[in-house]
Structure 1
Amino acid sequence: MGYNQSARKRPINLSMNEDLVLQARTYTKNLSATLESLLADFVAREAHRRRADDDMIDRLIDDLNAFHHQHGLLSDEFSSL
């Protein structure tokens, strides 16, 4: 998937742990770019995980539908309708 890397940048307000930010600044010269990169990685992983979950649910529904088609509903033997 990805994102538009040339999209306009704008300031946002975040509340972050001050000590963590101070420590992070010792490891990066550009905290904004580092956070953007980490956020892009998170978004990509989360999108992949959700697609995988959706695929698993689709397979489960297909399997249940095939089972019902072959065997009928388990509740049919108890139904008075």
Structure 2
Amino acid sequence: MEAIAAAPRKRAVNLTLNEDLIIQARTLTDNLSATVELLLTGFVTERQAALRSHRDAAEACAQEWNAVHDRIGSFADEHSTL
């Protein structure tokens, strides 16, 4: 028997939006809240993916730089007084 997942909690929020845009949107959807939630979900998913991609690129760059450092050392090593 499959367990039913609990629906995410809903929370009322105040938004300040362009009135003309809201009027137009209401002619296109019966459920403006659900439409905004769907669009916001897409935005959050896209931004999280972009942030992950940026983090992964930075990690790859650091690994490549470390590999170069391991192979040839650091330019600063020649000038260190330590």
TM-score, with length taken from structure 2: 0.84
Structure 1 stretches lacking a partner, 5+ long: none
Measure the CA separation in 2 of the matches of 1:70 and 1:45.
Answer: 37
Measure the CA separation in 2 of the matches of 1:67 and 1:36.
Answer: 46
Measure the CA separation in 2 of the matches of 1:62 and 1:11.
Answer: 45
Partner of 2:7: 6
Measure the CA separation in 1 of the matches of 2:76 and 2:60.
Answer: 22
Structure 2 CA distance for partners of 1:5 and 1:57, relative to 1, 3 Å: farther
The total of aligned residue pairs comes to 78
Shift of 1:76: 1.9
* RMSD of equivalent CA atoms: 1.7
Shift of 1:79: 2.5
Partner of 2:50: 49
TM-score, with length taken from structure 1: 0.85
Higher relative contact order, structure no. (Cα contacts within 8 Å, ≥ 6 residues apart):
1
Identity %: 44
